[in-house]
Amino acid sequence: MKPSGVMIHHYLLNGLRRMGINALDVCAGFGRASWFLLQSLTWGKGFKAPFARLVLQVYQLGVLSLPIILVAGLFVGMVLALQGYHVLVGYGSQEAVGQMVALSILREFGPVMSALLFAGRAGSALTAEIGLMKATEQLSAMEIMGVDPLKRIMAPRLWGGIICLPLLNLMFCVLGIYGGALVAVDMLGIYEGSYWANMQGSVEFYGDIVKGVIKSLVFALVVTWIAIFHGWNAQPTSQGISRATTATVVQASLAILALDFVLTAVLLGGF
Amino acid sequence: MANYVELKNVTFRRDGRLIFDDISLQIAKGKITSILGPSGTGKTTLLGLITGQLSPQSGEVLVAGLSVPDLPRPALFELRKKLSLLFQSGALFTDLSVFENVAFALREHTRLPEHMIRDLVLLRLENVGLRGAGQLMPSQLSGGMARRVALARSIVLDPELIMYDEPFTGQDPVSKGVLVKLIQSLNSESALTSILVSHDVDEALSISDYVYVLSHGQVIAAGTPQQLRQSDDQELKQFLFGLPDGPVSFHFPAKPLAEEVLA
């Protein structure tokens, strides 16, 4: 049976209505997430106890993420050196491999890879932890006791993430460059002096290192914000927590990649 | 007699479902008031309205003379320092020991020296018979012990109002008896106002000064335990005496069994 004009009109209207409802939901969700971020940026009265909580989060999010960051950094540097050498050797420019490894890692691989790994390791853990606290009514208990969970639970985690990720990024870069040296100098026989000297000559402190750290800071804020918001907003069931954890990893990863393009364009002066 | 909590013509819907339909009730200061009713009638939701975690679509919720839904966030947190809620699950902080769970509110809201915090926590743990369990973690406690620790935590700041959400559910007879005595003695010794939400009729009636029975989003009966026991209301009788036949059907609405099985 062919659909009549009235039916098509009805489907179109329904489609528009659903789009409108979804758009409103997205706006409301973004509004709630923004309010949540503003509330979580400050942690209320006192210094000693909040500082101790911040140190604990730096340990949980930063120190415990070190193994995966260091190992990943080392291997990324090694692979970059290997790939770079095989391309550059065709032009007789294999001595530039150190410069290529350093610039790639400091500008792109370091901030992006460390943020992706951070989202997978620490972001998912944050969402699951906060979601479970919600499911077991620990957040409600805190609220009833007159303690704001946004200040007590979320703020130290948010700031912990913002402090840790740039530092993890720098460690990723150091291990990556060292991994590149292991392959280029020790395996492929590039002269050690040219590996380091080319790097020293081409890497700029502001243009490469500081801009990489700026990217990392933005990624840290976005990833940690997404992670704690999904935990706070999770349905208090096992399925709800599983969904929230997945959403954290997917949304944070996509946000990192999309923001990387925007930040690169802005920092290079492309806009 | 002054009321500590008042609900006036409160209507509350969640996900399109009507939970309370224009209900009004008063909780007298210094008394134990029980809210009874079958599972799913919104007894815990009522506590959510009183603590300001939920807001009604219409009507007034007054606690200590303040309109809870209209309070800004800082004022609401200030009011909550005077309230306490014993959660059905206990809701202990799983990363803190029993001692630290009880000390939590003291550390957050007071500037007491450490030795005084220690003494207050030990006194509260002594009240619930768990002074020796201070160093245990919540995962090492039985359900009854966790509920008693949660009770110690909820009274450590000497609240003006304490709400118990299904305190007897899943408790063995000994723990149940201990909890009944604790609730009664706390109320009389500390001049607390207590709200007891439960479907354990005998325990609740034995210690209550006044009782509200909720069903289908409305207050179907209110009075002293004595008055309720003498009531002729069929629905109330069915609930109080646990009768299988009566106005409230045990089965969720469905097609007749024979029709569904033999179809």
Average pLDDT, chain B: 87
Cα separation values, B36 from A135, B41, B198, Å = 25, 9, 5
Dihedral angle of Cα B110, B116, B117, B119, to the nearest 10 degrees: -150
φ, ψ of residue B234 to 5 degrees: the values are -65, -40
Given this model, what pLDDT does residue B251 score? Answer: 67
Residue of A138, A143, A144 with shortest CB distance to B93: A138
E-state strands within B148-209: 161-165, 193-198
Each of the 263 residues of chain B gets a pLDDT tens digit; together they read: 588 999 999 999 988 888 898 999 999 998 999 998 887 788 889 999 999 999 999 999 999 999 999 999 889 988 998 999 998 888 999 989 999 999 999 998 888 999 999 999 999 999 888 899 999 999 999 888 888 899 899 989 889 999 999 888 877 888 788 888 888 888 887 778 999 998 888 888 888 999 998 888 888 888 998 888 888 777 777 777 777 666 666 667 778 888 888 77
- The predicted-structure confidence for A140-157, as pLDDT tens digits, reads as follows 999 888 888 999 899 999
Residue A123: which residues within 8 A CB-CB, separation 6 or more?
A223, A224, A226, A227, A248, A249, A252
Q: Which contiguous run of DSSP H or E holds residue B116? A: helix B114-127
Handedness of CA A163, A169, A170, A172 (dihedral sign): positive
Cα separation values, A24 from A14, A32, A230, A252, A255, Å = 15, 12, 19, 22, 21
Residue B94: which residues within 8 A CB-CB, separation 6 or more?
A136, A138, B137, B138, B139
* Closest-CA residue to B176 (of B134, B207, B153): B207
Is residue B77 within 8 angstroms of chain A, CB to CB?
A: yes
Given this model, what pLDDT does residue B248 score? Answer: 64
Q: How far is B84 from chain A (nearest CA, A)?
A: 6
Reduce the secondary structure of B46-78 to three states and give it as a string.
HHHHHCCCCCCCEEEEEECCEEHHHCCHHHHHH
Interchain pair A147, B93: CB under 8 A: no
Is residue B81 within 8 angstroms of chain A, CB to CB?
A: yes
Tokens 């095989």 found at: A86
Q: Looking at chain A, list the stretches that DSSP marks H as alpha helix, in order from N- to C-terminal side.
A: 5-40, 48-57, 66-88, 97-104, 110-118, 124-135, 138-144, 149, 155-181, 192-202, 211-233, 238-267
Q: Enumerate the residues of chain A whose CB falls inside 8 A of the CB of residue B79.
A: 146
Token couple for A75: 């291997």
Residue of A136, A138, A145 with shortest CB distance to B80: A145
The whole-angstrom separation of Cα B84 and Cα B144 is 19
Determine contact, residues B121/A161, Cβ cutoff 8 Å: no
Which residue stretches of chain A have pLDDT < 70? 1-3, 46-47, 270-271
ipTM rounded to 2 decimals: 0.80
Structural domain boundaries in chain B: 3-82+161-262, 90-158
Residue A161: which residues within 8 A CB-CB, separation 6 or more?
A57, A61, A118, A122, A126, A220, A221, A223, A224, A227
Q: How many CB atoms lie within 10 A of CB B74?
A: 10
Name the closest residue on chain B to residue A139, using Cα atoms: B91
Is residue B105 within 8 angstroms of chain A, CB to CB?
A: yes
The whole-angstrom separation of Cα B122 and Cα B149 is 11
B14 strand-pairing partners:
B17
- Read off the DSSP letter of residue A91: G
Determine contact, residues B162/B155, Cβ cutoff 8 Å: yes
Phi-psi category of A190—alpha, beta or left, where left has phi over 0 and alpha has psi -120 to 50?
beta
Is residue B89 within 8 angstroms of chain A, CB to CB?
A: yes
Is residue A136 within 8 angstroms of chain B, CB to CB?
A: yes
Q: Enumerate the residues of chain A whose CB falls inside 8 A of the CB of residue B85.
A: 141, 144
Interface of B with A in 154-213 (CB under 8 A): 157
The whole-angstrom separation of Cα A107 and Cα A202 is 12
Best residue in B71, B79, B87, B156 for a mutation probing chain A (most A CBs within 10 Å)? B87
CATH class of B3-82+161-262: alpha beta
The whole-angstrom separation of Cα A107 and Cα A173 is 10
Interchain pair B83, A144: CB under 8 A: yes
Q: How many cross-chain Cβ pairs, A to B, lie less than 8 Å apart?
A: 52
Handedness of CA B255, B259, B262, B263 (dihedral sign): negative
Residue of B73, B78, B87 with shortest CB distance to A141: B87
Q: Enumerate the residues of chain A whose CB falls inside 8 A of the CB of residue B89.
A: 136-137
Token couple for A74: 């080392």
What's at A189, amino acid-wise? G
Rounded to two decimals, what is the model's pTM?
A: 0.83
Determine contact, residues A78/A178, Cβ cutoff 8 Å: no
Q: Enumerate the residues of chain B whose CB falls inside 8 A of the CB of residue A38.
A: none
